[in-house]
A and B are shown apart, each in its own frame.
Chain A
Amino acid sequence: MSKEIVIPFGPQHPVLPEPIHLDLVIEDEKVKQAIPSIGYVHRGLETLVEKREYPEYVYLAERICGICSFIHGATYCQAVETVMNVEVPERALFLRTIWSEYSRMHSHLLWLGLAADAFGFENLFMDAWRLRESILDELEATTGGRVIQGSCKVGGVRRDIDGETLDAMTTRLDGFRGELKEISDVFLNDSSVKGRMKNVGILPAKEAYDYGAVGPTLRGSGVASDARMLGYAAYGKLHFKPVVEDGCDCYARCAVRMKEVYASIDIIKEAVQKIPDGPIEVKVTGKPEGEYFARAEQPRGEVVHYVKGNGTRHLARHRVRTPTLTNIPPLVKMLEGCELADVPVIVLSIDPCIGCAER
């Protein structure tokens, strides 16, 4: 006779790179229900708007996450700039786009390595992270930081990239693409990888949409939704299409991330070709008043930075809805009825970032 038991999965678990906590109700080897819990690394960052003025707060916004920090900072700046009616120079918008795509590449490569590690491919893990180092080198060379850049500010960016450096970066991207193909062939075509991820963590398109999935989790279910289509930064001036897979499973989500790395290369190269000359920042004076929901596409999905000014140099409210927070309900649905052995792969397939979600 079967019996229900509860297995606490996380927040500390060997397979988890993030401290997500799920209480799994198990019957035999099947998961009947997954109950999420967060708060393990909650820091109360949002309350610090009361202590830091809006120009300084961008440094805190960047520290919401140690992996996708640049886009957090850029989106926060975008929100404040909209409230204050600041017109950011064109060159700064292109630079933000270039750094955003490098940030996306390094995040996806990080995830690909962790995914490989989750199903025992240690060499593949190391290959992915070795490639990621070259992306981090570019970020460090152009911003001064590997994962927390600090190059974004309200009104523009703090650093510029000269033409020679941009050309050299695109040349290196061509070489990077060749190296990337070696590992992408494994992730996309290897029978062992497919065996581990195909038909696992099924999330149909309608459920993905209704439950609020975003990013590769949503696009892996066949829904072509990507916040970059809003045209923020320089995306409106670049040719870009969302990467979509119809498999609705863990393999599809992996394929989306793999192919998005290639797409980022193309976006960066086009941005380098089209980047205009000119200033990289404007002087910002005044105090924010009003409110705005700024949206952007993080590597994990759509992020929302809400700011509300009150006529002082401190914001009345800063709210971040991270992609992981909204991907938790779909994750709960994916886990219902799955095999216990598939739980790590399914959890990893949404690329959870608990530091982001808990703030």
Chain B
Amino acid sequence: MPEDQPMTECTIEGLLPAVRAYHEKGYRLVQVSCTKVDETFELSYCFDIDYHMAVLRLVVPAGTKVPSISGIYWGAFIYENETHDFFGVAFTDINIDFKGTLVRTAKQYPFSNISFREVEKCQKK
């Protein structure tokens, strides 16, 4: 029987209040993932309490700076740095910012064609 995974969509302005609400209810952070859909990035924040998962979904266009949740969930820096290094999504006010060096890859932002093309154009100049 697959588990129920209720998903809530939020805006950038509503992200931190929503995450803080989960934290106050005793949820733990399961993961943060990113999916590129056309010209946008779908960020999925997963929380769990007593084996019940809740998903918070944030959809942002490419180039948007997303506020970091590491001030609420300290360990979130590992996911946010990873997301930045793979997709190029920038996070503001992150507690430990590796500035693109957490995951060292041969290509910059390998999971994001848009950013890679932009970098390529800059390199050509």
Contacts and interface: CB of A to CB of B under 8 A. Distances in A.
A5 interface: no
Contact of B74 (A39, A308, A329): A329
* Size range of the chain B interface in the assembly: 35 or more
B102 A38 contact: yes
B8 interface: no
A39 B104 contact: yes
Contact of A326 (B2, B31, B35, B104): B31
A321 B30 CA distance: 9
Given A39-B105, A302-B30, A325 B82 contact: yes
B103 interface: yes
A308 B35 contact: yes
Interface stretch (A205-213, A265-273, A345-353): A205-213
Contacts of B103: 38-39, 42, 358
Given A37-B101, A37-B104, A295 B82 contact: no
Contact of B53 (A210, A211, A236, A293): A293
A42 B102 CA distance: 11
Interface residues of A, number: 36
B74 A210 contact: yes
A293 B5 contact: yes
Interface string A66-82: 00000000000000001
A292 B2 contact: yes
Given A230-B3, A230-B51, A306-B44, A46 B102 contact: no
B78 to A, nearest CB: 5
A114 interface: no
A contact patch SS = mixed
A10 interface: no
B109 interface: no
Given A317-B35, A319-B35, A210 B28 contact: yes
Contact of A328 (B31, B34, B35, B78): B78
Interface in A303-342: 304, 306, 308, 316-317, 319, 321, 325-326, 328-330
Interface in B34-76: 34-37, 44, 46, 51, 53, 55, 73-76
A47 B105 CA distance: 13
Interface string A29-54: 00000001111101010110000000
A40 B2 contact: no
Given A212-B75, A231-B1, 7 more contacts: A210-B28, A236-B1, A293-B30, A293-B46, A293-B53, A321-B30, A325-B82
30 contacts: A36-B78, A37-B98, A37-B101, A37-B102, A38-B102, A39-B85, A40-B104, A44-B105, A47-B111, A210-B74, A212-B28, A212-B29, A212-B73, A231-B1, A236-B1, A292-B2, A293-B30, A293-B44, A293-B46, A293-B55, A295-B53, A302-B30, A304-B30, A306-B33, A319-B34, A319-B35, A321-B31, A321-B79, A325-B79, A326-B30
